[in-house]
A and B are shown apart, each in its own frame.
Chain A
Amino acid sequence: MNKLEVEFAGVKFKNPVTVASGTFGFGEEYGEFYPLSELGGICVKGLTRHERQGNPPPRIAETPAGIINSVGLQNPGVEGFIARYLPELKKADTNIIANISGNTVEEYAEMAEMLSEAGVDMIEVNISCPNVKAGGLAFGTVPESAAEVTGAVKRASKVPVMVKLSPNVRDIAEIARAVEAAGADAISLINTILAMRIDTATRRPILKNNTGGLSGPAVLPVAVRMVWQAAAAVKIPIMGMGGVSCGDDAVQMLLAGASLVSVGTACFADPFAPVKVRDGIAEYMEKYGVSRVGELTGAIILN
């Protein structure tokens, strides 16, 4: 599968398909379906400095073409991850991308240092989670704070730093430029779109948290558009995600400007979705005579 190899921010990926943070845990559950080595990489569940319980349930609501979630970053904390999950993950032949969310800039930097020391392949900086009160989305909505977090993490990390952007902003290109200028090695987008569903019988939102983040097929066209806008604004490589369910969705992301793609919500309906996306990309390349997947990045032909 050499034709699927990608070098991304200095890290070698055997194929361009990763799984999205929050949808795959730490690989333990889906690892029972197929070896994690099938994947280019795994973006692990978002980590915080200390263990978090997360939001009260219900944490998920169905929508016509996707889901809204309000998990609230339930996770074992950085130390819990390093002690209990990282050792097993290291045995799997796949890139480990540690996703981090901090309450303060200092916390982000501290986590980046701890995790890069512990041997993850890349840090993904979450400045886009809509489900926690402090930190997360708050940092990612204005270029200045996005840049500040990026700079601090970059100084603290021994491994490449990828910043995960929120779609809930006025101008995604502006944020992308700010984090690139602050030293980001790559960006990933999109995170979930702020959303709500109301149960009309009770007149209450389905989610206990009232609002949550929308993901799944409904967001794909928004994500493709934002990847395209971000790609026009920065030179650093892009991991595209948001509603990718099949090879064709992934190829859209690549054409729009992504070098890697991430599959998340699709795993819920089909645990094998990431593998099928990978194989779908390979089929497209076979059909159109593309010899290296990198040729597709940014190859959109505008009208």
Chain B
Amino acid sequence: KVPLYVSLEERMGCGVGACLVCSVKIKTADGWKYERVCRDGPVFNAEEVCWDE
């Protein structure tokens, strides 16, 4: 199995992490939370991304 990282794109506003429009669902220990593509990404571990959305 090869680790897969993905660079995501979501419509953005401020581009610095303040406005929260570019949120993507990321899995957490007890469910999920939104993270910012512009600041917390744009690269994410593919296993952590909620792909169904």
Contact = CB atoms under 8 A, between A and B. Distances in A.
| Chain A partners chain B | yes
Interface of A: 22-25, 28-30, 32, 45, 53-54, 56-61, 67, 69, 71, 74, 206, 267-268, 271
Interface of B: 10-25, 33-34, 39, 53
Nearest to A271: B16
A268 B13 contact: yes
A57 B19 contact: no
Contacts of A29: 14, 16-18, 39
A22 B16 contact: no
6 contacts: A25-B20, A57-B21, A58-B10, A59-B21, A74-B23, A271-B14
5 tightest Cβ-Cβ pairs between the two chains A and B: A25-B18, A60-B21, A59-B21, A29-B18, A29-B16
A59 B17 contact: no
A85 B14 CA distance: 20
Contacts of A60: 11-13, 19, 21-22
Contacts of A67: 13
B11 to A, nearest CB: 5
Nearest to B19: A23
Given A58-B10, A59-B21, A60-B11, A74 B34 contact: yes
Contacts of B16: 29-30, 32, 271
Contacts, number: 67
B11 A57 contact: yes
A56 B20 CA distance: 11
A149 B29 CA distance: 38
A268 B20 contact: no
Contacts of B24: 57
Nearest to A212: B21
B23 A23 contact: no
A59 B13 CA distance: 9
B14 A268 contact: yes
A177 B33 CA distance: 41
Contacts of A54: 20, 23, 34
Contacts of B23: 54, 57, 59, 74
A59 B18 CA distance: 13
Contacts of B10: 57-58
Given A29-B14, A59-B23, A60-B13, 11 more contacts: A23-B14, A23-B19, A25-B18, A28-B17, A45-B20, A53-B34, A57-B11, A57-B21, A58-B21, A60-B21, A67-B13
B18 to A, nearest CB: 4
Nearest to A22: B19
A71 B14 contact: no
Contacts of B12: 60
The CB with the most chain A CB atoms within 10 A, among B17, B18, B22, B39, is that of: B18
A102 to B, nearest CB: 20
Contact of B15 (A22, A45, A71, A268): A268
By CB atoms of chain B within 10 A, which of A53, A58, A59, A71 has the most?
A59
Contacts of A267: 14, 18
Contacts of A71: 19-21
Nearest to A207: B11
Contacts of A25: 17-20
Contacts of B22: 57, 59-60
A5 to B, nearest CB: 27
